[in-house]
């Protein structure tokens, strides 16, 4: 049995302004009709003897992951929630510990974990499946498999794996001689010319017991912390919440550094399947279809004398004139313009935003919640106007506010309102007033999305002015600030 483990903890800062910390690139539709996480999952269709997947993600992304899996009809085994980011070694260790615990009475030595990142593109699915099946057979022998991408150019943005002698001729598998850091251009060209080096993909296969044994031996502090975190974890429906204190005590390290560079069991399988980790806007230009002038254009874009560029318009018309080799990305609250060769440096802008305490690094104007979404349309010191969309069958928490009153106007759909001790239905063009201090709840009992305009008035309009009395999503009673000077994001 192959047990897929999808690592979905990244922030995707190099794809700002579309990728934000609370809605990073793996949840975005960047190269098709599905998000990158959904593409990663559907890519597994057709692999034999596949178990239900396990997803490891940040606590803040739990509802996004659950909703996106529900949207494509995937039943997950478990969504493991990291209380804090600790890189790939603790994440993989947690998944392996969970698997060992779940199957403790009947675990099969042939069961193998397939570790995939949630934000990669693989276009040749048939070849990918063939290499996974080869990796399955090798991993059943107790080896730790890494997939090495066959390079097609001298790339300085990836780490490399140097192969040694053949491990299995029938599976085209090689022992690993060494892992090397990102090289300069001249060294990368030497690696390419030699034919002995592969790009480090960050994808792996191994038995749960085999990887746990190596982590315990080679990175004992990670093993002990994560083992305790899984033991102390709490299972809630599809979610497994790791013990906060124990997991936070784990060293932060990649599986490469913690294990793969030290073990004598590492085996690399070459993978030539049009892979891309979409690490920057320049990568999206590479993987998308281009017009006769070498441009990739999305949205309402007008251009003249534009070549070899990527332009994405999300909310408004964007006009570009007389530019070459550039990236232009427009969203509701930010516009990025960068030379394509400098696309890796976008993270520096994100760092500046974080240092300044600005919300543009954290979230979009439209914020997704487990019940739907909301976006702020206008705001001053004494009032705020929001557009709220509630998915069919969903409801917000039963709550009240100490410092603000709210007025709801139904724009589309049907709303079930709880206001104090009353319950009633509102339809389009009807409205209701929620006085300060009154318990209230908004619910969509219909079959189409409910859209309302919410007008808040009061002396304090921060998102942390909320007391929950009942919540079907298991959220805490009071939202808290996220540690910045900006308002909290745990809305309703």
Are 200 and 292 part of one and the same domain?
no
CA distances from 365 to 18, 208, 332, 351, 410 (A): 11, 41, 7, 19, 20
**Domain contains 247:** yes
Q: What is the pLDDT of residues 367-412, one digit of tens each?
A: 888 899 999 899 999 999 999 999 999 999 999 999 999 999 999 9
- Whether 479 is in a domain gets the answer no
Among residues 303, 318, 351, the one where a domain terminates is 351
Backbone Cα Rg of the chain:
24
Question: Does 477 reside within a domain?
Answer: no
CA-nearest of 438, 445, 407, 406 to 424 is 445
User: Does one domain contain both 329 and 422?
Assistant: no
Q: Residue 256 has what pLDDT?
A: 94
Q: Tell me which residue range forms the domain holding 98.
A: 2-276
CA 111 – CA 248 distance, rounded (Å):
29
273 or 482, higher pLDDT? 273
Residue 479 has pLDDT above 50, yes or no: no
Q: Is the four-CA dihedral 367, 371, 377, 379 of positive or negative sign?
A: negative
Are 191 and 250 found together in one domain?
yes
Q: What is the pLDDT of residue 482?
A: 33
Residue 63 pLDDT grade (very low, low, confident, very high; cuts 50, 70, 90): confident
pLDDT band at residue 83 using 50, 70 and 90 as cut-offs:
very high
Per residue in 202-249, pLDDT tens?
Answer: 999 999 999 999 999 999 999 999 999 999 999 887 899 999 999 999
Answer whether residue 482 is part of any domain: no
Contact 402, 439 (CB under 8 A): no
Q: How confident is the model at residue 201 (pLDDT cuts 50, 70, 90)?
A: very high
- To the nearest 10°, the Cα dihedral for 330, 335, 339, 340? -40
192 pLDDT band, cuts 50/70/90, is very high
Does some domain include residue 402?
yes
The reply to whether 239 and 384 lie within a common domain is no
Domain end: 276, 297, 316, which one? Answer: 276
Same structural domain, 96 and 170: yes
Alpha helices in 312-418 (DSSP H): 346-355
Task: Tokens for 233, please give them.
Answer: 């974890």
Instruction: Specify whether 120 is located in the same domain as 204.
Output: yes
pTM here is 0.86
Instruction: Give percent of the chain above pLDDT 90.
Output: 82
Q: Count how many domains the chain has.
A: 3
Q: What whole-number distance in Å separates Cα of residue 30 and Cα of residue 36?
A: 7
| Whether residues 267 and 334 fall in one domain | no
What integer pLDDT is reported at residue 476 of this predicted model? 58
* pLDDT confidence of residue 40: 96
CA distance readout (Å), 144 to 173, 394, 468: 11, 44, 47
| pLDDT for the residue numbered 226 | 97
| Res 184: pLDDT | 93
**Residues 42 and 122 placed together within one structural domain of the fold:** yes
| pLDDT bucket at 104, cuts 50 / 70 / 90 | low
pLDDT in tens, 401-453: 999 999 999 999 999 999 999 999 999 999 999 999 999 999 999 999 999 99
Q: What is the pLDDT of residue 105?
A: 53
CATH number at residue 450: 2.60.120.10
CATH number at residue 254: 3.90.550.10
Residues 369 and 301 in one domain: no
- Gap between the Cα atoms of 448 and 450, Å rounded: 6
* Same-domain pairing of 120 and 184: yes
Contact 338, 349 (CB under 8 A): no
Residues 302, 313: contact at Cβ < 8 Å? no
Q: Would you give the end-to-end CA distance of the chain in angstroms?
A: 41
391 and 300 belong to one structural domain: no
Residue-wise pLDDT for 23-40, tens only, equals 999 999 988 889 999 999
Instruction: Report if residue 478 sits inside a domain.
Output: no
**For residues 91-96, average pLDDT:** 96
Does the pLDDT at position 253 exceed 50? yes
For the segment 45-72, the average pLDDT, to the nearest whole number, is 92
**What pLDDT was estimated at residue 491?**
47
**Rounded mean pLDDT of 310-319?**
96
Q: Are 448 and 392 in contact (CB under 8 A)?
A: yes
Give the least confident one: 94-108, 155-169, 301-315, 329-343. 94-108
Is residue 492 one of the residues assigned to a domain?
no
pLDDT at position 488 is: 38
| Per-residue confidence band for 102, with pLDDT thresholds at 50, 70 and 90 | confident
Mean pLDDT (the chain) is 92
Check whether residue 326 and residue 405 sit in a common domain.
no
Sign for the CA dihedral angle at 300, 303, 306, 307 comes to positive
E runs forming strands in 169-317? 173-180, 197-206, 234-236, 239-241, 266-271, 275-276, 296-298, 301-307, 310-313
Domain boundary among 256, 276, 296: 276
Evaluate whether residue 475 is within a structural domain. Answer: no
- pLDDT (tens digit, 9 = 90+) per residue, 299-313? 999 999 999 999 999
**pLDDT for res 364:** 84
């Amino acid at each position: 049995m192959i047990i897929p483990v999808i690592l979905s903890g990244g922030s995707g800062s190099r794809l700002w302004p579309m990728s934000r910390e609370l809605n990073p690139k793996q949840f975005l539709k960047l190269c098709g009709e599905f998000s990158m996480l959904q593409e990663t999952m559907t890519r597994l269709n057709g692999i034999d003897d596949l178990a239900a997947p396990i997803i490891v993600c940040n606590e803040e992304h739990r509802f996004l992951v659950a909703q996106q899996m529900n949207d494509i009809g995937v039943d997950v085994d478990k969504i493991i929630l990291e209380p804090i980011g600790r890189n790939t070694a603790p994440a993989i260790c947690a998944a392996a510990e969970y698997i060992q615990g779940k199957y403790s009475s009947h675990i099969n030595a042939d069961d193998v974990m397939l570790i995939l990142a949630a934000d990669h593109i693989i276009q040749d699915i048939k070849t990918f499946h063939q290499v996974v099946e080869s990796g399955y057979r090798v991993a059943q022998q107790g080896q730790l498999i890494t997939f090495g991408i066959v390079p097609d150019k001298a790339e300085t943005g990836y780490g490399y794996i140097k192969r040694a002698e053949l491990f299995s001729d029938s599976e085209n598998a090689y022992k690993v001689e060494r892992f090397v850091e990102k090289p300069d251009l001249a060294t990368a060209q030497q690696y390419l010319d030699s034919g002995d080096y592969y790009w480090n993909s960050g994808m792996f296969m191994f038995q749960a017991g085999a990887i746990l044994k190596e982590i315990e031996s080679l990175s004992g502090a990670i093993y002990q912390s994560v083992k305790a975190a899984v033991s102390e974890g709490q299972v809630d429906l599809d979610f497994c919440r790791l013990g906060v204190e124990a997991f936070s005590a784990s060293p932060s390290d990649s599986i490469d550094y913690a294990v793969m560079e030290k073990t004598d069991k590492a085996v690399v399988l070459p993978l030539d399947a049009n892979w891309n980790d979409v690490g920057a806007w320049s990568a999206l230009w590479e993987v998308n279809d281009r017009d006769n002038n070498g441009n990739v254009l999305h949205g309402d874009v007008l251009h003249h004398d534009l070549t070899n560029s990527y332009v994405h318009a999300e909310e408004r018309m964007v006009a570009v004139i007389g530019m070459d080799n550039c990236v232009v990305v427009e969203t509701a609250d930010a516009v990025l313009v960068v030379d394509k060769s400098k696309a890796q440096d976008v993270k520096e802008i994100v760092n500046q935003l974080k240092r300044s305490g600005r919300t543009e690094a954290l979230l979009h104007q439209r914020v997704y919640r487990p019940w739907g979404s909301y976006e702020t349309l206008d705001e001053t010191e004494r009032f705020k106007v929001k557009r709220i969309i509630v998915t069919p069958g969903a409801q917000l928490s039963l709550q009240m506010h100490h410092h603000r009153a709210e007025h709801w106007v139904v724009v589309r759909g049907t709303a079930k309102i709880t206001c104090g001790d009353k319950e009633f239905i509102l339809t389009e063009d009807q409205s209701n007033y929620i006085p300060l201090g009154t318990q209230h709840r908004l619910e969509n009992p219909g079959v189409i999305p409910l859209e309302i305009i919410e007008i808040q008035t009061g002396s304090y309009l921060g998102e942390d002015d909320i007391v929950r009395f009942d919540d079907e999503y298991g959220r805490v009673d009071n939202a808290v600030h996220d540690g910045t000077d900006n308002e909290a994001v745990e809305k309703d």
